Amino acid sequence: MKKTVPSKNQTYFSANINEMASAKLSPLRFFSGKSEEAIDKLMDEIRIYLRKKILIYRLKKIKTYEKPPNVSRRKIR
């Protein structure tokens, strides 16, 4: 299997996914041929990607949060 080298605008993860798709291999079969270092690098990229997605989601949630209307503090009976 050839060594995966990402292009300028491509991450290591997406380069591996594209290679796996072109070889028409299952993920288990594809990654069983990879070294532990390569798998660790992929896992790190996945973690970073997910952290970014979660951060973006939280920021969007904060931006769209609407303050409740001004209600007097006195209990309404």
Say which residue, 47 or 27, is predicted with more confidence.
47
Say which residue, 43 or 22, is predicted with more confidence.
43
The answer, yes or no, to whether residue 77 has pLDDT greater than 70, is no
Q: What pLDDT is recorded for position 3?
A: 57
Task: Return the amino acid letter for 7.
Answer: S
Return the percentage of the chain with pLDDT > 70, whole number: 53
- Cβ–Cβ under 8 Å, residues 2 and 30: no
Q: Break the chain into its structural domains and give their ranges.
A: 12-64
Q: What pLDDT is recorded for position 9?
A: 60
